[in-house]
Chain A
Amino acid sequence: MTFLFFFIFAGFALAGAAGVVVLRNPFYCVLSLVVHLISLALLFLLLEAQFVAVAQIVVYAGAVMVLYVFVVAYVGGGDKPDQLWSASPRQKALAIGFASLIFVELAIAILGTALSSLGTEGAKLSADYGTPAQIGELLLTDYLLAFELASMLLLIAAIGAVALAGRRGGIAEDEGNLSPRHGVVHTPSPAATGSMAEGVSGYGVTTPLPDPQFEGRELQQPARETAEDDR
């Protein structure tokens, strides 16, 4: 019975993973990943890791995937759907070759070298294996440092995400505020400030630099909502 369930869930997990790689529309990729994550949680249940399975569904398939769906809807994932697959055939072949090399290496490591020790049903489990009680005890005794570091990491990531995406105009909206001549429309800034946009458009690299008489580029006034608008 376990065998049957394993193959059903593993099949769904692999199909979901393949869907993420193959599907063209990023929105379908996200949905495919949800299928993958849920079947992976069921595999965790087969391995008797109940708490991790529930965390997988609540945290991953729930919270993280909702975040993905919102960002795909916001960015409008299908920006250039035709170009997503326009990686050259050589690059595609190389990528598939490297991936199969990785798989062969992993398969050798799993089946070749450790078959005798791994080919077991596993140790006898204690009654509280995989329960929240056991996980909590381990987190607060043996792995307390990892637990605390993980909480710090989450805090740093949250602050970083807010700093990256929280401003109205994106990364560089507040550039004007940093300069002493705040509020001046013609901010005298160097012609090429080395921003990412210039790097992408090849400004200053493929196009000649503007003459030294150039006073500065025009900064668009950020459209701020003033407090009066709210009243």
Chain B
Amino acid sequence: MTVNWYLLVSAIIFSLGAAGVMIRRNPLVILLCLELMLNAGNLALIGFSRMWGDGAGEIFAIVVMVIAACEVAIGLGIIVALYRRRLPVDVDELKELHG
């Protein structure tokens, strides 16, 4: 079982996530697709870590998890705030950031 296979799966997941970010319009689903991309990066990092027999890649993966958790907290906070202001939860209609 070579590391190549894991990297290939990681590449497929990353591309799927990228396609999802570009296609979907619901910000919740866009956040989910961002999670997909981050997880693809995690899989590649763990694969490289296994290849070198070194723990550094796992530390990177854990830091990526921390970043993902922060992103989820802030992103969901923004979505909840949007919903409470009765704004459409749709990225195509949220074009302006001011205010």
Q: Which residues of A contact B (CB under 8 A)?
A: 2-3, 6, 10, 13-14, 17-18, 20-21, 26, 29-30, 33, 36-37, 40, 43-44, 46-49, 51-52, 55-56, 59-60, 63-64, 67-68, 71-72, 74-75, 77, 79-80, 83-84, 86-87, 91-92, 94-96, 98-100, 102-103, 106-107, 110-111, 115, 118-126, 129-130, 134-135, 138-139, 142-143, 146, 150, 153-154, 156-158, 160-165, 169-172, 193-200
Contacts and interface: CB of A to CB of B under 8 A. Distances in A.
B36 A33 contact: yes
A149 to B, nearest CB: 9
Contacts of B87: 196-197, 200
Nearest to B8: A110
Of A98, A142, A200, most buried by chain B (CB within 10 Å of CB) is A200
A80 B34 CA distance: 21
11 contacts: A3-B1, A10-B9, A20-B29, A36-B36, A40-B39, A68-B28, A79-B26, A83-B25, A115-B4, A158-B73, A160-B77
A61 to B, nearest CB: 11
Given A30-B32, A99-B16, A199-B96, A68 B23 contact: no
Contacts of B96: 196, 199-200
Contacts of B54: 123
Given A17-B17, A71-B28, A165 B80 contact: yes
A200 B93 contact: yes
Contacts of A51: 58
Contacts of B58: 49, 51-52, 130, 135, 138
Nearest to A33: B32
Given A102-B14, A120-B2, A21 B23 contact: yes
Interface residues of B, number: 81
Nearest to B47: A47
A203 to B, nearest CB: 11
B16 A169 contact: no
A72 B28 CA distance: 8
Q: What are the 6 tightest A-B residue pairs by CB atom distance, in nearest-first order?
A: A123-B53, A170-B84, A199-B96, A95-B22, A99-B19, A164-B77
